[in-house]
Amino acid sequence: MYFINLDVGKSGFEFVTLAKIAEMYEAQGKFLSDLGMLKEACNPLQRSLELREIALDPDHPRVAQSLHLLARYAMLSYIRRSYWLTINKLCFTVT
C-alpha cells in the first residue's frame, strides 16, 4: 500500500531520480504516522518536501502535496498533544 507507486521499469532497473527518492521518504513518513509515530514522521516528510523543491518547480502540485502532508501531521500532533494535556489537567489536578 505504501510503496505501490514505486514500481521499477519492465527491465527491473530504473534510474533513481530525486523525485523517486522523495516518494520513498513520503511513503516512510506516511507509514510512521499510521503507526502513531507522528514526531518521527515529520523528518522523512520534510526531506521529501526538500527533494521535491529541488527536483521539481516550487509551484508543482507534488510540492503542494508534500506541504499538505506536513501540515496535516503537524496538526494531528498538536491535537494529540493538547488532548493529553487537557486529560492530565482534568485527571491529575490536586485540590
Is residue 2 in some structural domain?
A: no
Is residue 60 in some structural domain?
A: yes
Is residue 3 in some structural domain?
A: no
Instruction: Say how far apart CA 27 and CA 41 lie, in whole Å.
Output: 10
State the CATH number of the domain containing residue 58: 1.25.40
Instruction: Identify the residue with better confidence: 75 or 24.
Output: 24
Model confidence at 74, pLDDT cuts 50, 70, 90, reads confident
- Domain, as residue range, for 70: 18-91
Is residue 5 in some structural domain?
A: no
The string of DSSP codes covering 42-87 is: HHHHHHHHHHHHHHS-TTSHHHHHHHHHHHHHHHHHHHHHHHHHHH
pLDDT at 84: 62
Domain count within the chain? 1
Q: Is the separation of the CB atoms in 70 and 42 below 8 Å?
A: yes
pLDDT in tens, 29-73: 889 888 888 788 888 988 998 899 888 888 888 888 888 888 888
Is residue 44 in some structural domain?
A: yes
Is residue 12 in some structural domain?
A: no
Is residue 68 in some structural domain?
A: yes
Is residue 75 in some structural domain?
A: yes
pLDDT at 76: 75
